[in-house]
Amino acid sequence: MIHIKQAMSLNVMPIVKKEFRQIKRDKRILGVLLFIPSLLLVMFGYALNFDVKNTPMAVYDEDRSIVSRSFLEKFFVTEHFNLYKQLENKKEIDELLDGEMVRVVLVVPHDFSKKIQRGEEARIQVIVDGSNSNAASITLGYVNTIIQQYSLNVISEAIIKSGRRQFQLPVDFRPRILYNPELRSAKFLVPGLIAFILMVTTVISTSLSIARERELGTIEQIMISPVKPIELILGKTLPYVLISVVATIAILFAGYIFFGVTIKGSIFLLSLVTFIFLVTGLGMGLLISSLAETQQLAFMIAAITSLLPTFILSGFIFPIRNMPIVIQGITYLLPARYFLVALRAIILKGAGIEAFWEQVLYLTIYAILMLGISSLKMKKVLA
């Protein structure tokens, strides 16, 4: 048994050293694995922001009273809206919305203050740019909340003026938000970005390894050497595993520095799940590398199979439960789906293995399958 291990280590170590030399020569691979992930995290983390803040708003106040001004001020003491312009006539509304200078316009009718003082219903027109449906729906939610709060204050003041000293709402709403109390989209996105970046970088970088041997004409040397498929796989993947571990630490550090995302759960569990995911990505990359004849083809296949599916179908941005049933079925074929559930549970919720053991099991099966298929393919390559 000891002799077998010694023989395997003697065969594996030269491949590992050779791969490190190749990586050292080709600075692009080192950049893709070490620097690009952290750079992408920062870029995507700031660019992919679903928080709707400082929305430019125009107001057309036909009433021009103390009451209407007090009402409009409620919108601009929050971080959600900025006053872009007070309009003089309705003709300006279309011009501002068409030019995307404002996203929402409030129109206060001329009898607003009179109706408020008489206790009658005063109708406010809210015109929203619906070209961005997500931002429009969130903006309408903010507008509705501010108007409802203003209405409650008016009712409360009216009841107190009528002689009743105390007034309480029939329902007291006190939300408790777990895991992300500030509702910052960055905290939701950073774990997804980690999964996305690790999948793309590991698959793409590893997919070039065997294809590079073919292009350089050194695959024949490997074929006549006493190297077994499993030894070739270990030799080709170990350098990328080590570099990917360093990249993972760099990504987590960047997530903490730039977005304040801390790991609430077990570091050991995070390391274990990340390692299994890295092995899965490296196995996929090796499989692609053994199938592709050139580095260009390997890169294209790796990008198509890892980049778009992980970005769109893993639950990184779009909830899987909202997808059509057929598409939901396809998502089960993506390792990032399982990794992302475990990652968010560990980083954001501080959950234990009991919360995501199924995801770890599926991810482990996926990793074994990828390595098994890669090994079989390597046998054919070396035959």
pLDDT, one tens digit per residue, over 21-64 is 877 777 766 776 677 777 777 777 777 767 778 899 999 999 99
Mean of the pLDDT values across residues 300-318? 87
For residue 69, the model assigns a pLDDT of 92
Cβ-contact 96, 84 below 8 angstroms:
yes
When pLDDT is cut at 50, 70 and 90, the band that residue 311 belongs to is confident
Helix or strand or coil: residue 55?
strand
Average pLDDT for the chain: 83
Cβ-contact 69, 222 below 8 angstroms:
no
Here the contacts of 350-356 (C-beta below 8 Å, separation 24 or greater) are 350/264, 350/265, 351/265, 352/265, 352/266, 352/269, 353/269
Distance CA 186, CA 261 (A): 8
For residue 353, the model assigns a pLDDT of 92
Instruction: Tell me the whole-structure pTM to 2 decimals.
Output: 0.76
Q: Which of 101-105, 154-158, 282-286, 303-307 has the highest mean pLDDT?
A: 101-105
Q: For residue range 181-223, list pLDDT tens digits in order.
A: 777 777 888 888 888 888 887 888 788 877 777 777 776 676 6
Residue 3 has pLDDT above 60, yes or no: no
Cβ-contact 57, 105 below 8 angstroms:
yes
When pLDDT is cut at 50, 70 and 90, the band that residue 10 belongs to is low
Write the burial class of residue 22 (CB in 10 Å: 0-12 exposed, 13-18 middle, 19+ buried).
middle
Place of tokens 């021009």: 64
- The two beta strands, 81-86 and 104-108, are unpaired
Residue 161 has pLDDT above 70, yes or no: yes
For residue 21, the model assigns a pLDDT of 82
For residue 6, the model assigns a pLDDT of 46
Mean of the pLDDT values across residues 231-235? 76
- At the fourth CATH level, the homologous superfamily of domain 55-161 is abc type-2 transporter like domain (3.40.1710.10)
Boundaries of every domain in the chain: 2-48+184-382, 55-161
DSSP string, 59-125: EEESS-SHHHHHHHHHHHTSSSEEEEEE-SSTHHHHHHHHTTS-SEEEEE-TTHHHHHHHT-----E
Residue 88's identity, in one-letter code, is: E
Residue of 155, 65, 51 lying closest to 114 (CA atoms): 65
When pLDDT is cut at 50, 70 and 90, the band that residue 2 belongs to is very low
DSSP 355: G
Number of helices (H) and strands (E), helices first, in the chain?
15, 4
When pLDDT is cut at 50, 70 and 90, the band that residue 81 belongs to is very high
* b (16+ CB within 10 A) / e for 212-227: bbbeeeeeeebeeeeb
Q: For residue range 291-305, list pLDDT tens digits in order.
A: 888 888 988 998 888
